[in-house]
Amino acid sequence: MEWQALDGRLRQLLRSADRSVLLVAPFVKAPTLATLLAEVAASAQIDLYTRWRVEDVASGVTDTKVLPLVAERGGTVRLVDDLHAKLFAADASRALVGSANLTAAGLGTSARPNFELLVELDKPGLLLPFRLELRRRSRLATEDEAARIDAAAAELRTRLPIPHPPDAAASVPHQPGTTWFPKFRSPDRLFRLYSDPEWPIQVQPNDPGLNDLSHLRLPGGLAQADFDACVREILLACPAVDTLDRMLDTPRRFGEVTAALAEPLPDADHRDRQSAAQTLIRWLLHFASDRYGLQTPNYSEILYRR
């Protein structure tokens, strides 16, 4: 899914470059760029196209400290004042385009990430006219211009204080499983939905399957075995599963499982907890059947740990 795991997708692209890396984004933060450049082979020429507006630097969405980072690698930074495009290419043979800037918020690693998109182009060679026009419109960034921009931004910042840095890094990595609870009652169908590119467009926004896949935030293109393994890992980190594990030292009847969900689902009534228990048991039996089992003596249901 191209709006998820953008940082990982971009790093994978950069690691594939042998000869050249092209980075085009109006907003570029030095800490984010430094971690990305660490993925680039020493043999690759790095060209960064960005823009330096005083108000952008003052607000903290971009900074001029990217210049020495690229220069240390023997690359160039070029400025395009009206730049809005976002393009990242490796060896002119692979490219990602979309909405994400080279910032923690843009790539999804900040405390308040943006909702962004990056898509890999089938024919990156078609970008040649754009790259030629990009070069024509640009000028080489210099230390003198960086110093002038920084001085003007510092003065502006005294008049327009920024109380919360927009690109603050998250103190704890995002872990979808920690607050998520499954709602889709047919986990055996989940991979088929995940693999259908048309389904998210056609389904209603409140569809339980769409809700679960959105919260799971899995990368696109997984084979079913990898998909199942990823879902299993997130599912087993769910607070409700931790609650069940603490009580499954002995097999438990369905009513006991329902009652136990009062802790992770404090706002749910008894009927909602019953429905949630049925859904959770189905997910555990589908994605972690080696760990959980269900007995049905005399039409009752008993969940147990293997």
Question: What's the predicted TM-score (pTM) here?
Answer: 0.59
Predicted local distance difference test score (pLDDT) of residue 175? 43
- Axis crossing angle, helix 208-216 with helix 224-236, rounded to the nearest 10: 80
Integer CA distances (angstroms), 242 to 83, 153, 284, in order: 49, 49, 12
Predicted local distance difference test score (pLDDT) of residue 3? 56
Predicted local distance difference test score (pLDDT) of residue 282? 94
How far, in Å, CA of 257 to CA of 277, rounded?
7
Contacts (Cβ under 8 Å, ≥6 apart) of 207: none
pLDDT < 50 regions, the chain: 1, 161-164, 168-178
Nearest to 211 by CA among 233, 180, 241: 180
The domain limits of the chain are: 6-159, 176-305
Predicted local distance difference test score (pLDDT) of residue 173? 38
DSSP secondary structure letter of residue 8: H
Q: Which residues pair with 207 in a beta bridge?
A: none
Q: Which residues pair with 24 in a beta bridge?
A: 49, 87
Q: Quick one: 143 exposed, middle or buried, by C-beta within 10 A (0-12, 13-18, 19+)?
A: exposed
Predicted local distance difference test score (pLDDT) of residue 58? 85
Q: Starting from the edge strand earliest in sequence, which strands make up the sheet with 292-295, in order?
A: 252-253, 302-305, 292-295
The answer to whether the CB of 193 falls within 8 A of the CB of 213 is: yes
Query: Looking at domain 6-159, which CATH architecture does it have?
Result: 2-Layer Sandwich (3.30)
Q: Starting from the edge strand earliest in sequence, which strands make up the sheet with 118-120, in order?
A: 118-120, 94-98, 87-90, 20-24, 45-50, 76-79, 139-140
Predicted local distance difference test score (pLDDT) of residue 178? 47
